[in-house]
Amino acid sequence: MNFLLNRLLPLFIITVFCIGCIIRTIPVYLNYPYPIGYDSINYYLPLLYNFSENGINWSTSYPIYLFAVSSFSEIFMIDPYTSFNFFNIFLYGVLGVSLFLLFTKVMNISPTRSILFSLFVLVQLSTLRISWDLYRDLLSIIFFNFSLLLINGVYQNSKISYQSGLSYLLLFCLILVSVLTDRMVSILLIFASLICALLFRNKYLLLISSSFVILFISYLIAFDKISIFSMDSGIIQTLVDPVYDLNSYSIIEIIVLFVSLYGILIPFFVYGFLKPLLAFLPLKVPTIIALVCSFSWIIVPNYEYLVPERWVIISGLFISIFSAHGFSLLNTSIKSGFLRAITFATFFSFFIIYGIVFILSPQFGTISTIPGYFGNLTQFIMPISMSINSFDIDQNKDIVQLIDWINRNTQGNSIVIGSIHWRGWFSLFLDPEIDFKYEENTLQPLSFKNNSLFENSGLGLCNMTSSNSDSTSATILLVSSNDSILKDLSSFKIQEFGQFAVYNISKILCNY
């Protein structure tokens, strides 16, 4: 029997790979040619096209993902955007394979059930959220999962051999690539491997993990610009002193996010995690770390620096794995075979349909997930659907047409002002001779002159020769999607595309 299963293993792997690819293809296909994901348009695509035109900039933070997509584009001779979409689809398929191997190799679950359990994890809202626009996390999670497979292998076979030596070497390489891919997941991997080394009393694994702990902390202190290690104050002071409080998400928002995502799964997760208690340690150790970080706000006043909202999303991968296992264990206790089969099918069908609805919900025109009903608390962390980016997809055409109109009707060396959430669109499509500046807060007409954005660059344009409101000589344009805020500027509106309007505010600034 085992011989037959081993012969069929490649077929199982191909099957789960195709399942992952199909899941990730659906939102791409439905929304093409527009991208899905907030960071897709505001971070990854502008950097990717910059890399394509000017070569890889290795000083960019964690450039491995962008390098991989650029290489994918070169190898298959396709444009960067097509490469971006296909590579993300490919990654989700590989994620499915890594989950399948975790179920079969670490948890000793049958291949057929492992395929179903992998599908269960792939359609969880938290996993889909990662694939929506957390692509560095997604790539690093794949390295993480394969690292766990190697850690489990050296745990089960602690004898030194040629094969174990290769496993340690490959583990070293995977941790290294993970460190260069994403900060959060690499921290999880390094400390999980360190704790596993101590629990397993494996000196070789301890040497690898402790080396990376030292190197990673040294890197954060010396080069990182955005973590708590880059602060002038001490780490403890930064996390505790109210002066450094930058909490952008409230505790209520984080709790609602966690409960709305995992409330149904918690009983199954707890049961699956505890049964049996000392089994699956390579998976349980990172699960505990991720959950502790998710609830860091309990003991850390300035929890923003520890990004618990991101850890809530990451921990969903482990919660889903143990929930599938826990439900399976509970289901086996049902004596009636018919009732057991019905319960099993109902449970997994519900979550598969629930995940697909999350992918498709804007197509139905309604909010169809639990986090979606709490959108006022979760919307900045969890989108209501995968079929969205910095706008609803049906608004993407309007913003592209608006930028094209600006390119054709505006002089070079002009300034366009808009929202920080639109910076990616203007970076990709605006004429390079026109400068785009963004503001995080809504601009109020009565405070233009006092705004730091105008103090630094706006008033200098008043020396330019055209002060009338003709669109072809506009020097400072304001793009807004909220007419009610700017109703006093209606006479300065020069163009409109859908909900977006363009205002020539040069005369206002220069004659304020």
Three-state SS annotation for 330-357: HHHCCCCHHHHHHHHHHHHHHHHHHHHH
pLDDT value of position 412: 73
Quick one: pLDDT at residue 405?
92
* Tens-place pLDDT, residues 175-185: 989 888 888 89
pLDDT attached to residue 471 = 45
Is pLDDT at 323 greater than 80 in this prediction? Answer: yes
Over range 328-344, report the average pLDDT: 91
Q: What integer pLDDT is reported at residue 284 of this predicted model?
A: 96
The 10s digit of each residue's pLDDT in 85-129 is 999 999 999 999 999 999 999 999 999 999 999 999 999 999 999
d(CA 19, CA 120): 11
**CB-CB contact of 360 with 307 (8 Å):** no
Instruction: Kindly report, residue by residue over 421-451, the tens digit of the pLDDT.
Output: 899 999 999 988 888 887 765 555 545 555 5
Per-residue pLDDT band for 361 (boundaries 50, 70, 90) equals confident
The region of weakest confidence among 14-18, 192-196, 222-226 is 222-226
Helices (H) and strands (E) counted in the chain, each on its own, are 23, 5
CA 265 to chain centre: 22
Checking phi first, is residue 153 left (phi over 0); if not, alpha (psi -120 to 50) or beta? alpha
In the structure encoding, which two tokens stand for residue 475, read together?
């020097």
Strand-pair partners of 497: 500
Which is more confidently placed, 459 or 222? 222
Can you read off the two tokens belonging to residue 299? 């003991």
Q: Structure tokens of 415?
A: 């300034």
What pLDDT sits at residue 366? 56
Q: How far apart are CA 266 and CA 294, in angstroms?
A: 15
Which token pair is 247?
Answer: 């909490």
Q: Is the dihedral of CA 333, 339, 340, 344 positive or negative?
A: negative
Dmax over CA atoms of the chain, in Å, equals 86
Share of the chain above pLDDT 70, in %: 82
Q: pTM of this prediction?
A: 0.90
Higher-confidence position of 127 and 410: 127
| Radius of gyration of the chain from its Cα atoms, rounded to whole angstroms | 26
Say whether pLDDT at 381 is over 80: yes
- Nearest CA to 476 out of 488, 487, 456, 485 is that of 456
Among 81-90, 189-198, 459-468, the range scoring the smallest mean pLDDT is: 459-468
User: What is the structure's pLDDT at 80?
Assistant: 92
H or E stretch covering 412: none
Q: What does the alpha-carbon distance between residue 345 and residue 340 come to, in Å, rounded to a whole number? A: 9
Distance in angstroms (rounded) separating the CA atoms of residues 93 and 236: 41
Quick check: 479 pLDDT over 90? no
Where is pLDDT greater, at 243 or 189? 189
- Mean pLDDT, to the nearest integer, of 404-420? 85
Q: So what's the pLDDT on residue 233?
A: 61
User: What is the spatial distance between Cα 127 and Cα 92, in angstroms, rounded to a whole number?
Assistant: 10
Query: Running DSSP on this structure, what letter comes out for residue 442?
Result: P
pLDDT, tens only, 203-258: 888 999 988 888 877 776 666 665 555 555 667 767 776 666 666 788 899 999 99
pLDDT, the chain, mean: 84
Least confident of 57-66, 269-278, 401-410, 454-463: 454-463
Q: What pLDDT does 396 receive? A: 92
Q: Are 493 and 480 in contact (CB under 8 A)?
A: no
What angle is formed at CA 344 by the lines to CA 342 and CA 345, rounded to 5 degrees? 65
Give me the half-sphere count of Cα atoms (radius 13 Å) on the Cβ side of residue 301: 11
Q: Give the three-class secondary structure for 79.
A: coil
Mean pLDDT value of segment 368-387: 83
Mean pLDDT across 55-71? 79
pLDDT (average), residues 401-428? 88
Q: Is the dihedral of CA 225, 227, 233, 235 positive or negative?
A: negative
Token pair 């995940």 is found at 355
**Is residue 368 predicted with pLDDT exceeding 80?**
no
Output the CA–CA distances (angstroms, integers) from residue 476 to 185, 454, 496, in the order listed.
43, 10, 16
**Residue 108 has what pLDDT?**
92
> Residues 66-85, buried b or exposed e (16+ Cβ, 10 A)?
bbbbbebbeeeeeebbebbb
Percent of the chain's residues with pLDDT above 90: 46
